[in-house]
Amino acid sequence: MLTIDQIISRYDELRTTLEDRLGRRLAKYMTAEQINQIGLTFEDEEEAKNHKPIPLTEEAVLEELKRDTLFGWEKAVNHRGLSSSMMFEVVNGWCVILENGLDVEPTDENYAPYGTPLFLAVAKHYGWEIDETEYEDEE
């Protein structure tokens, strides 16, 4: 698994579009200085001063990955393109951080349909239950 320093040094390739949802999730594991290094900021100075990072552990990342995978799957089966696309990026980023070999090059082919191939691969790899019959491709 990547360390915080490795994540920061590779952050340009991990940064997610729109609201940088991966960065916002990672912030709880980083110091205020590290958060600034990846381009995020606090709402106010007091918040930055009181921020205490929690340890980045494999168990913590797996919890994040599971929650994001299942949420991404839910968005995919409901054909919520923007939401599933954002979660595809986040789940892919967690896979890079875990170095589990499940990350993919973010191309249209790897994303279609709605990120389901990645969500399914991650869920199967970790033994998380996903009902594949929920997804019906409209094409």
Contact of 86 with 21, CB cutoff 8 Å:
yes
Mean predicted confidence (pLDDT) in 3-26: 94
| Domain annotation covers residue 49 | yes
| Domain annotation covers residue 64 | yes
Alpha-carbon torsion (24, 74, 84, 64), positive or negative: positive
Contact of 122 with 69, CB cutoff 8 Å:
yes
105-125 confidence digits (pLDDT tens): 888 888 888 999 999 999 999
Domain of 13 in residue numbering reads as 4-134
35-82 confidence digits (pLDDT tens): 999 999 988 889 888 999 999 999 999 999 999 999 999 999 999 989
| Domain annotation covers residue 139 | no
Q: How many domains does the chain fold into?
A: 1
Could you tell me if residue 18 is left (phi over 0), alpha (psi between -120 and 50 degrees) or otherwise beta?
A: left
Contact of 98 with 65, CB cutoff 8 Å:
yes
pLDDT at 34: 96
| Domain annotation covers residue 79 | yes
Residue 133 reports pLDDT greater than 80:
no
| Domain annotation covers residue 59 | yes
Report d(CA 99, CA 92) in Å as an integer: 10
| Domain annotation covers residue 21 | yes
pLDDT at 139: 46
What predicted TM-score, i.e. pTM, was given to this entire model? 0.91
